[in-house]
Structure formats: structure tokens, C-alpha cells
Structure 1
Amino acid sequence: MKRFRDFFLFCSGVHVPMLKRAPSEVNKYGGIGATIFFTGLLAAFSGGYAMWTVFNQWWAALLFGLVWGLMIFNLDRYIVSGMKKRNSFKNEFGMAIPRLVLAVLIAVVISKPLELQVFNKEIQQELITMEQQVFKTQEDKVKERFQKRTDELNAEITGLNNAIQAQAAKRDTLQLIAQQEADGTGGSRIRNLGPIYKAKKADADSAAALLQTISGQNGALINQKRRELASLDSSYKATVAQLDRSHIDGLASRLEALGRLTDRSVPVRWANWFIILLFITIETAPVFVKLISPRGPYDDLLEVHEHAYIIYRKEQIEKRERAYAKKMMIGQTAPAS
């Protein structure tokens, strides 16, 4: 237990030989050191997991997690050890504000990868939806490239078919008129196969011949355009098959999925905020403990030590200044050679 206690005292940044002269403060600084240590440990887990999601390499995750945890541990240790209890709470709080802001920023950073792990199952489901949306967008963009020409070909085919149908309707009409002239139900109302019938029959035959010509020409063009449509369809399918279908599972995608979940679901949003607030509480706890705790014997000893050093420094400076002034005076009174 003594080793753990000494280690946590080291983590708190306290001056251990001086703290031994104030044993009542040991538990307080041991608790502060333990909080700093476990914050660094959580930061190591968070950084390692974040690196794992990016590179999927255990050694990179382990190395980065260790470096990241040590960096956060060192920052927290410096933040707490740099705070000194004085007689003015206002001045102490003013000095603590930058440290609290830094602690909050650190808490937000180290909490985010762990939030991703907490909501991992929900994020995986959201990533599937995001993948489908991405694939749909890619296919729509490819389809847009071929759609204009496809619409043009379909319009041309429709126009050619309409021309055939229009000529067929004209032939049918002329044939009906010639038939009605022949049987006396229309035209001159005289049943005969005379010159009027022959003229109308000639018009019908001409329309039929023209229909045959148009059908042949337009049919060939329609077949050509349908072959081009088939070629376009094959090119479209081949392009879609070559699209990138890799699994979306990067850190940025997970963060976006978490953002969508929090925007869409109120419980997830509250749970996300509770996790962030938990880490903020853990990260700022040592600063608040140091801030709200009463001035203790260790603070008195530390102030005495610092004051003694200040006095010693001033004495040394004054001593050097006197020695320098004496040297200059001797140099001025020395006889010229």
C-alpha cells in the first residue's frame, strides 16, 4: 500500500519530502494523484481505440495510446501542481480559470472515442444506412451521365414510331375513302369502280407504298438506336459495378454516425452529454478539489519555502550589485599609469 500511496503522491505533483512534515495532507494529495492517474489511463484507452479505428493495427494503437495517456497525465499533473493555495479565493479562482478551460477541452477530446465505443452497435446500424445512401448517390451520379443521351434516343425512337403510325393512319383513311367510293357509302354515293374510285385507290396505294418506305427506313433507324441504348445500358452497369463499395468504418464516418444519432434520438443525445459531463467532472475534479479545499499545513510550508527562496535570491542579487559597485569604484580611483 505504501508503494501505491507514494506513486499517487508523485502523480499529484506534490513535493513529497515537504509533505512528510504535514502528514494530515497525505490523503488529500493521494486522492488527487489517483484521480490524475486514472484520467491518464482513460485517456490512453481513448487514444488507443481512436488509433485502432483509423489504422486497425494493434501496435500503432498501443503506442499511440501510451503516448497520449502519458501526455494527458503530464498535463493534468502540471495543471494541479501549478495551483497554490493563497489567502485570496478570488485570486485563486482567477488563476484556476485557464486550468479549468484546459481541463474541459482535454475531457471533451478523451471522451469522444469512448463515446464511439459505448454506442458502437447503434453506430454500426447507422453506418449501414450511410453506406446505402453513399452508394445510391454514386449510382445516381453515374445514371445522370447516361440519362441525357438515353432520353434523346428514346425521344428519337418515339418520333420515328409516331411517323410510322401517322403514315399508317393516313393509308388506312385513304383506303377507307376508296372503299366507301366503291360501295357507294361515301364520296359520290354512286356504287361503281369509275375514275373517282381509281383516283382515290391510287392515293391509298401511294400512301401504302410510302408507309412501306417509311417503315423500312424508320425501322432501321429504330434498331440502330435500340442497339445504342443497349450499349449505353451495358456501359452504365459496368460503371456501376466498378464503383468503390468499400465498407465505411473510419473515425470520421463513426463521428458522423454518432452526430446523426444524437440529432435524431433524444435519449442518445442525453446519454452522449452525460458521458461528456462525466469526463469533464473527472478531469476537473483535481482542480476543484485543490480550489475549494481549505489552506493546509503543506501550503504554509510551501509558501515559507518559496518565500525563503525569494529572500535568498534578492540577497544574492544585492550582494552581486554591491560587489560590482565596489569593483567599479576601485577602478575609478586607481592612479593612471
Structure 2
Amino acid sequence: MNSIQHFFWWCAGVHKETLSRYPEEHSKYVSIGATIFFTGLFASLAGGYALYFVFSGNDNAIFYSLVFGLMWGLAIFNLDRYIVLSIDKNQNAFRQFLQALPRILLAVLIGLVISRPLELKIFDKEIQDYLRVEYLKKQQAAIDTLNRTFENKYAVEYGQLRALKVQADSLENDLKKARQALNHEIFGTKTDETSGVMGYGPYAKMKEANLKKQEVYLDTLRSRIQQKESLLSERKVREGIMAQKILTDRSLDSAINVAGFADRNAALSNLHKKADGSEDPSTKYAVIFITLLFVFFECLPVFVKLMSKKDVYDIAVNNQKAVHAFESTSDVDVEKNALNKLISQRTDVAIQRRLDKLSQMYEDQKNTN
């Protein structure tokens, strides 16, 4: 437990010798250090997971993700540690807030960055379902585009085919009417087109002969239509259009497994949109709340430091800084620097004067103490 405590103290960036003199502050800085550590740990997991999708399918994907995750986590850990250390508790509350404001904005940005990959993992099943539908739509759109391009390329042939089909449909309707008229003629039904005499007479024979001619011509039209369709189908095969097919379940699963970070990120952003154009607020708010959770978690070290009052440890550290600042800028040190400069210049009279002045300053400080 003592080792863990000292580790979290190190994460918080405290001066161990000074903090050890104030046991009442130990738990506080253990909590701050733990918060900084776990923020870096979450950042490492998120960064590694994001890079895993970048190199998805590569044999070294796991190795790359581990290395990048470690580097990203250490970078965020070091940045958070600096943010907490740089807040001066000896300033008033407003100055502390102004001092921490740029760091809070930076923490918000980091929170947004590290939350996205973990959100992708949380909504992985929903993202896969969304990508399945989107890939099918894209494949169907690609097939439709190729077919339209092919039809535009062979517009003349398609025009001839449509004309033949229209002619064949019209002739088939005429044949239905001709068969009906032949039946009326044979059974003696009186109409504008029949004699009204029952039996297979000359009018019935004439109508039957005309009907057979039309049937022969219809067979010729159908043969020409079939030839034209076969020709167009061969050209489709030759140009590779027939090779474009709707993705099977296995193909969809393979495409989803190798989907990149951009596709998954776009899918996550559109999860709340339904097929009919409406929105699902529950999914939308769930993504927002998870993002806010990570942003708050990233900002937590700064908030803890801001909310904590100035304690005895802060006072002790501030006093030590003041002593060091005085020692580094005292008149004695200034005189020492000047003396060293004169010695380097070999000016004997000036050296003696400086030595006398320095001795007097030591005496004065000694009497003062």
C-alpha cells in the first residue's frame, strides 16, 4: 500500500519529502494522482482501439495498436500531470480559474478525442447493423448506375427493343380479339364483324387464315426480341456489368469486419437517424451523454485541483519556492558573480574592494540572523 501511495503521489507531481510531513493531506493527493493515472489509462485504451481499426487486417495490427496506445496514454498522462501541477493555489479563485481555463478547454478537446473510439466499441453491434444496410444501398446504387450507363451507351438498341415489345404487345391484343371474332363466327353469334350463320363457313375460314398469319408474325417479333435481348446480355457480360451482384451475408460480414475508422465514425454519427428520415432521440442522447462523461472524466483532475482549498502542503511548497527565489537573487550572490568576473579580468584593486564589501555583507547578515 505504501508503494501504491507513493506511485499516486508521483502521478500527482507532489514533493514527497514535503508532503510526508502532513499526513492529513495524503489521501487528497492519492486521489488526484489516481484520477490522473486512470485518465491516461482510458486514453491508452481508446488510442489503441482506434489504431487497431486503422491497421485492421494487417498481421501487425495488434502490435501497432499496443505501441500507439501506450504512447498516446503516456502523452495524455504527462499533459494532465502538467495541467494539475501548473495551477497555483496561492492565487485567488478568479485568477486560478483564468489560469486553468485554457487547460480546461484543452481537457475538453482531449476528452472528445479519447471518447470516440470507446463509443465505437460500445455501439459496435448497432454500427454493424447500420453498415450492413448502408453497404447494401451502396451496392444497389452502384449496380443501378452501371445499368443506366450501359443503357445510355446502347440507347439505340434499347429503343429498338422497346419498339419491338410495344409492337408485340399490340399484336397480341389484336390476336385475342381475332380469336374471339372467330369463335363468334363459328357459333353463329351476330356482331358487326360476323355473318351470324353457324358453322365453319367461308367467313370463318378467312378469319382463321388471317389469325394464323398474325400468329406467325407475332412469333417473328418474339424471336427478334429474344435475339436483341441476347445481344444486349452478351454485351453486359463482356463489359463486366453482370459480375456486379448484391452482396451475400458472408460478403457483408467480411466487408463490415474490415470497415475503417471513418465508416464506423460516420455510422455512429448517424445511428439516431431512422430509414424513414425520423430520429431516435434515445440513441442520440446516449451518445451525447457518453461523450460528456469522458469529457468530465478528463476535466476531473483540473476540477479537483480548483475545488480544493489551499492546504498546508501548498503553503509549505510556496515558502520553499520563495526561499529558493531569494537565495538565487540575493545581493550576496550578485556580489559573488561580480567578484568572479573581476577575478577573470585580473583587476587587483577592484577585487580587494569587492572582497571587503562581500565580507561586510556576510557580517551584516550574520548579525541580522
TM bucket (normalised to shorter chain) is: 0.7 to 0.9
1:112 matched to which residue of 2?
Answer: 116
Instruction: Check 1:125–1:98 CA distance in 2 against 1; reply closer, same or farther (3 A cut).
Output: same
Q: What is the Cα-based RMSD across aligned positions, in Å?
A: 3.3
> Separation in 2 of the partners of 1:5 and 1:236?
68
Deviation at 1:21, TM superposition (A): 2.3
On the 8 A contact 2:54/2:260 being kept in 1, the answer is yes
Shift of 1:239: 4.4
Map of 1:253 onto structure 2 = 263
Deviations 1:82-133 (A, max 9, x none): 2221141111111100111111111111111111111111111111011112
TM-score, scaled to structure 2: 0.68
Tell me the distance in 2 between the aligned counterparts of 1:317 and 1:98: 37
Among candidates 100, 107, 128, match of residue 104 of structure 2: 100
- CA distance 1:303–1:318, change in 2 (3 Å): farther
Matched, 1:272 2:280: no
Report deviation, 1:23. Answer: 2.3
Query: What residue is the counterpart of 1:231 in the other structure?
Result: 234
Q: Which residue of 1 aligns with 2:23?
A: 23
Whole-Å separation in 2 of the counterparts to 1:332 and 1:241: 100
Whether 1:311 and 2:326 are equivalent positions in the alignment is: yes
Q: 1:12 maps to what in 2?
A: 12
Farther-moved stretch of structure 1 (8-17 vs 235-244): 235-244
Residues 33, 257 of structure 1: alpha-carbon distance in 2 compared, 3 angstrom cutoff: same
Which residue of structure 2 aligns with residue 301 of structure 1? Answer: 316
- Between the aligned partners of 2:348 and 2:164, the Cα distance in structure 1 is 117
Counterparts of 2:136 and 2:335, CA distance in 1: 77
Structure 1 pair 147–129 and aligned structure 2 pair: CA distance change class (3 A): same
Higher mean displacement: 238-247 or 260-269: 238-247
Report the Cα offset of residue 330 of structure 1: 3.9
- CA–CA distance in 2 between the matches of 1:293 and 1:242? 61
1:32 maps to 32
**Number of residue pairs the alignment of both structures matches:** 287
**Which of 57, 61, 77 is 1:73 aligned to?**
77
Shift of 1:233: 3.3
1:178 matched to which residue of 2?
A: none
Q: Which runs of 5+ in 2 are unaligned?
A: 175-212, 274-278, 351-369
Residue 272 of structure 1 deviates from its aligned partner by 1.1
**Partner of residue 88 from structure 1, selected from 87, 92, 98:** 92
Contact 2:139–2:246 at 8 Å: present in 1 too?
A: no
Aligned partners of 2:146 and 2:241 also within 8 Å:
no
From the superposition, tell whether residues 88 and 239 of structure 1 become closer, same or farther in structure 2 (CA, over 3 Å): same
| Contact 1:142/1:236 (8 A) holds in 2 | no
Task: State the AA in 2 paired with 1:116.
Answer: L
For residue 300 of structure 2, the aligned residue among 285, 288, 297 is: 285
1:219 offset after TM fit, Å? 10
Aligned CA distance change for structure 1 residues 221 and 72 (closer, same or farther; 3 Å) = same
Residue in 1 that maps onto 2:276: none
Which secondary structure does the structure 2 equivalent of 1:148 belong to? helix
What does the per-residue CA deviation read over 1:214-237, in whole Å, with 9 as the maximum and x for residues that have no partner? x99x99987774443122332354
Match runs of 1:125-274 below 5 Å: 125-159=129-163, 225-234=228-237, 235-240=239-244, 247-248=255-256, 249-263=259-273, 264-274=279-289
Deviation sequence 1:228-273 (CA, Å, 0-9, x none): 3122332354442599976042211111110111353211111111
**Equivalent-residue separation in structure 2 for 1:81 and 1:324 (angstroms):** 37
> Are 2:56 and 1:53 aligned?
no
Larger fraction in helix = 1
SS in 1 for 2:244: helix
